[in-house]
Amino acid sequence: MKHAQTTAAVLRYALTALGAALLCACGGNAASAASDPAATTPTAQTTPSGGDQLVRGRYLAHAADCAACHTAENGAPFAGGVALASPFGTLYGTNITPDKEHGIGKWTADDFYKALHDGIGPDGPLYPAMPYTSYRQLTRADTDAIYAYLMSVKPAAVANHPNDLRFPYNMRFGVRFWNMIFLKDSLPDASQGKSEEWLRGRYLVNALGHCAECHTARGSLGQLDGSSPLAGGALGRINAPDITPAGLAARGWTADDLQAFLATGIARQGSAFGEMYPVIHLSTQYMTPDDVHDMAVYLLGDQAPSPQPLPAPADNAQLETGHKLYIATCAGCHGMTGEGKPHVAVAMLGNSTARQKDPHNLLVAILDGIEAQDFPGNESMQHMPGFAKILSDDEIAQLANYLRAQNGQPADVTATAVHALKQ
Ligand code: HEC
Ligand code: HEC
Ligand code: HEC
């Protein structure tokens, strides 16, 4: 289920973009498209040294999270069939096993490179739900390694599920116009650096990890907003937070915490949930400690800003109702003072979700709850119930205000804001 959630959000953006591009093309604006001539200079060394091409290819396929969209739950690896639901219809991740009839068995390494680098398949342009906007920055050596690895997996004779998109989103050619305008050779950096770690981290984050596809906001035509890279993006239900150096430091993140989070899904600041969970589960947990380290260096920059300490706990009569509600409904799992309980639930004091300026994710987590999740290293977190039907809008607002005040944010959540997020 988590797969579907992840991809649905990515897809919604891609299709919004496509719809916009079609309108744009019909309006004749495509002629003004300016393409970015800047050549990418990714660091060549992207995987642990010493591995042969297949081992490298397998590692890279993990780092790029191909399975998220190409391996269906209970399906053969890379045989496709992952349904990507969207308001515009449904797309299906395709069969990328070496099956000659249904998969990519007849593809050459050049064909494969063209799909990842240009978003062009045998039937014309691919929908940008396939994140070639990011993969475009992959080196030829790396796409060749991924190709070699995919050619070595078991062919699966599974037919592709036809896409079921409504007009005008079913007009594949429209993507060409979008590509003309928005497909760039590199993505802007959110941090600054020039160390080897930073350069390698940039390649891992921007090209392979395609982190920007969720963490960068979209412009009016669905394109990644180049002026605010990694500064946060709205997704289906849980938003992708600001992961720029300033945003991370404001919520207390250090490079060590980020490494722990990407490697295990759990850090002092909380655990991965929503669409971040599959990223850890299917991708970053498989990466080497060096690579995870370099990603953290890239996210924070060579000169990492100091993590901001938590302000003194707020003690205010107005927060008393929220405090009581917390003790009655949350403390059993999250601890009396929000200190968390190992193997049960994460801390609320210093929790990065509660420390966000925008209360959106905090409110959605309280309203919807979070299903039980397994984490690397035999760690697991139990199910957190949703409180939408248990607490009133006003109670949830008071509770959220108590948690926000504890975490240095203004107690400004209203019952109306809570109500608006109910589904
Ligand atoms: C976020 C979801 C997503 C991720 C991640 C993703 N893909 Fe895709 N991919 C898709 C979708 C959706 C399509 C079909 C697009 C269409 O119908 O135009 C596709 C199409 C393709 C195709 C064209 C296949 C064909 O038969 O036309 C290839 C090749 C491919 N992907 C390879 C990869 C590889 C390799 C990776 C990892 C490096 C990857 N994809 C990661 C969603 C994804
Ligand atoms: C039955 C135990 C339980 C109860 C009761 C509970 N939670 Fe949770 N909560 C969890 C677990 C476990 C997680 C982590 C889930 C995961 O990531 O898999 C979590 C996560 C969260 C998160 C997301 C933060 C993060 O970093 O993962 C927030 C916010 C949150 N809880 C708030 C609350 C509030 C407010 C209450 C009281 C209304 C509450 N919880 C009651 C178990 C509980
Ligand atoms: C499919 C969408 C998606 C992709 C791709 C994605 N993220 Fe996330 N990310 C999220 C969402 C949603 C959250 C908020 C939930 C949470 O904190 O776990 C999040 C949270 C995070 C956080 C925690 C921030 C905080 O303060 O709580 C970090 C760090 C992070 N992502 C880093 C990354 C990196 C690095 C990559 C690329 C390897 C990445 N993300 C790729 C959706 C995504």
**Is the pLDDT at 362 greater than 50, yes or no?**
yes
Atom in ligand 2 nearest the alpha carbon of residue 371: 18
| pLDDT higher than 60, residue 65 | yes
Residue 7: band (very low, low, confident or very high) from pLDDT cuts 50, 70, 90: very low
* Cβ of residue 304 lying under 6 Å from some atom of ligand 2: no
- Phi first, then psi, for residue 25 (nearest 5°) are -65, -40
Which ligand is in closest contact with the Cα of 271?
2
In the predicted structure, residue 149 carries a pLDDT above the cut 70: yes
Give the C-alpha separation, 388 to 236, whole Å.
18
Confidence check: pLDDT of 398 > 60 = yes
Mean pLDDT, rounded, for 158-164: 92
Our CA angle for 74, 151, 102, nearest 5°, is 60
Residue 385 CA: which ligand is closest? 2
Atom of ligand 1 nearest to the CA of 175: 18
Burial status of residue 311 (CB atoms within 10 A of its CB: 0-12, 13-18, 19 or more): exposed
Distance of alpha carbon 293 from alpha carbon 278, whole angstroms: 20
The total of other beta-carbon atoms located within 10 Å of residue 212's CB is 25
- DSSP 8-class letter at 162: P
Residue 32: per-residue pLDDT: 29
DSSP at 139 = -
- Site to probe by mutation for ligand 2, drawn from 319, 370, 374 as the one with most ligand atoms within 8 Å of Cβ, is 370
Which structure tokens are listed for 85? 């639901």
pLDDT of residue 38: 32
The closest-lying atom of ligand 3 relative to the alpha carbon of residue 353 is 27
The verdict on the CB of residue 333 being under 6 Å from ligand 2 is yes
Across the range 98-127, mean pLDDT stands at 95
| Closest ligand relative to 363 C-alpha | 2
List strands edge to edge, sheet with 164-165.
83-86, 89-92, 164-165
pLDDT by residue (tens digit) across 308-320? Answer: 999 887 677 889 9
Instruction: Say which amino acid occupies 41.
Output: T
The reported pLDDT for the residue numbered 86 is 65
| Confidence at 138, pLDDT banded by 50, 70, 90 | very high
Per-residue pLDDT reduced to its tens digit, 76-92: 999 999 987 766 678 89
Q: Give the three-class secondary structure for 112.
A: helix
- Which residues have CB under 6 Å of ligand 1? 7, 10, 61, 64-66, 68-70, 84, 91, 93-94, 96, 104, 112, 115, 121, 126-127, 129-131, 135, 146, 163
In the predicted model, what is the mean pLDDT of residues 245-256? 98
CA-to-CA distance for 90 and 164, rounded, in angstroms?
5
Ligand 2 proximity of 363 Cβ (cutoff 6 Å): no
Residue 10 predicted with pLDDT over 50: no
Query: For residues 362 and 177, what is the distance between their CA atoms, to the nearest angstrom?
Result: 38
Two structure tokens written together for 133: 């906007």
With pLDDT > 70 as the criterion, what percentage of the chain qualifies?
86
Whole-number Å distance, alpha carbon 386 to ligand 2 midpoint, is: 9
In order of start, what are the domains of the chain with their CATH numbers?
2-32+47-185 (no CATH), 190-232+240-309 (1.10.760), 317-420 (1.10.760.10)
Task: Please report the pLDDT score of residue 221 as a whole number.
Answer: 67
Instruction: State mean pLDDT over 374-391.
Output: 93
pLDDT digits (tens, 9 = 90+) for 188-244: 999 999 999 999 999 999 999 999 999 999 877 667 888 899 999 988 899 999 999
- C-alpha 94 – ligand 1 centre gap (Å): 6
Query: What is the mean predicted confidence (pLDDT) over 267-277?
Result: 95
Which pairs count as long-range contacts for 100-105, CB under 8 Å and 24+ apart, including other chains?
100/155, 101/157, 102/156, 102/157, 102/158, 102/159, 102/160, 103/78, 103/79, 103/155, 103/156, 104/150, 105/151, 105/155
Q: Is the CB of residue 183 below 6 angstroms from any atom belonging to ligand 3?
A: no
Average pLDDT of the chain is: 87
H-run or E-run covering 401:
helix 393-406
Please compute the mean of the pLDDT values over residues 376-405 and round it to a whole number.
95
Work out the pLDDT band at 183, boundaries 50, 70, 90. confident
pLDDT surpassing 50 at residue 39: no
